[in-house]
Amino acid sequence: MIVVTGATGRLGRLVVEGLLAEVPAAGLAVVVRSPEKAADWAARGVEVRTADYARPETLAGAFRAGEKVLLISGSEVGSRVAQHTAVVDAAAAAGVALLAYTGVLGGDEAGFDLAAEHKATEAAIRASGLPYVFLRNGWYTENYTDTAADAVARGTVLGSSGEGRVASAARADYAAAAVAVLTGEGHAGRVYELSGDEAWSLSQYAAELSAQAGRPVEYRDTTPQEHRAALVAAGLPEGFAAILVDVDAAIGRGELARHRGVLSALIGRPTTPLADSVKAALGA
């Protein structure tokens, strides 16, 4: 049995659909907080288990001995170490055969604040004694293209990464990597540093938006302080705005442009080009 936690999130849904193309529904279980969101899978024969990262008591029956489990990292920044550790403890108590975890590119070497909870989670997984595989995901192209239409309307892409480059990949590419690991053999003990084949700067992104939209879009590089203030003014919480500005600094240092080619080798195809992701976003 393959088990996917956090299955109804944006990455989780892609993983589950990818798995259903490879394995029978009866060989798949999903762990979700809201089972009604997984009703479509239940109707197809997928086992739905209800549990919450933030409520350890609900995780006691979430896993079975011998299962392969994908722990998709939670979204509640600042609370994730305790939440992830609860999942790890439940998986260890059940005796699962493999625990895969979606961390962040660079792992212990990552020098940006967003990596801290991922480092702590990986340490907890190692300490558990479980067979594991780390899927260290780089930046998602959708982190930018989700707001592509707004950037075109403004005529501006705002950031503080200078001409630093990011080797992003589409969320579907990272989902395909998880599917490959969960359905394949020989991955236990492996650490995969996953990033896109193409590294690009925000000025290149702005130029791609401009070319596809047919109207001027420019990259405006700001100071970190100005960038943070603009994000807060746009409605982001102070803490999350600070994290994003810190990531831009990491991009400026080249931390999110490394390890190109690992992801495409794992999934057996090139990663999704930036131009394709921009086209899909603007078309939507």
* CATH number 3.20.20.70 given to 2-137: no
| Average of per-residue pLDDT across 223-236 | 94
Structure confidence at residue 284 (pLDDT): 74
Closest CA to 38 of 6, 63, 1: 6
Domain 2-137 and domain 145-165+197-257+273-283 have a common topology: no
Q: Is the pLDDT of residue 149 over 80?
A: yes
Structure confidence at residue 28 (pLDDT): 98
pTM for this entry: 0.95
Take residue 243 and report the two structure tokens written for it. Answer: 């994290």
Take residue 199 and report the two structure tokens written for it. Answer: 């590294």
Using DSSP bridges, classify how beta strands 165-166 and 132-137 pair: parallel, antiparallel or unpaired: unpaired
Q: Is the pLDDT of residue 79 over 90?
A: no
Residue 99, strand partner residues: 69, 132
Domain residue spans of the chain:
2-137, 145-165+197-257+273-283
| Average of per-residue pLDDT across 204-229 | 97
CA angle 194, 200, 204 (to 5 degrees): 155
Integer CA distances (angstroms), 279 to 145, 146, 181, 210, 212, in order = 9, 12, 29, 11, 7
In SS3 terms, 111-154 reads as CCHHHHHHHHHHHHHHHHCCCEEEEEECCECHHHHCCHHHHHHH
Q: Is the pLDDT of residue 163 over 80?
A: yes
CATH number for the region 145-165+197-257+273-283 comes to 3.90.25.10
The secondary structure of the chain in percent helix, strand, coil, rounded to multiples of 5, reads 50, 20, 35
Q: Is the pLDDT of residue 76 over 90?
A: no
Rounded CA-CA distance 170/144 in Å is 11
Band the pLDDT of 26: cuts 50, 70, 90. very high
- Judge contact between 138 and 196, C-beta under 8 A: yes
What percent of the chain has a predicted confidence (pLDDT) above 90? 95
Band the pLDDT of 192: cuts 50, 70, 90. very high
Q: Can you point out the beta strands (E) in 37-96?
A: 47-50, 68-71
83-87, 124-128, 280-284: range with lowest mean pLDDT: 280-284
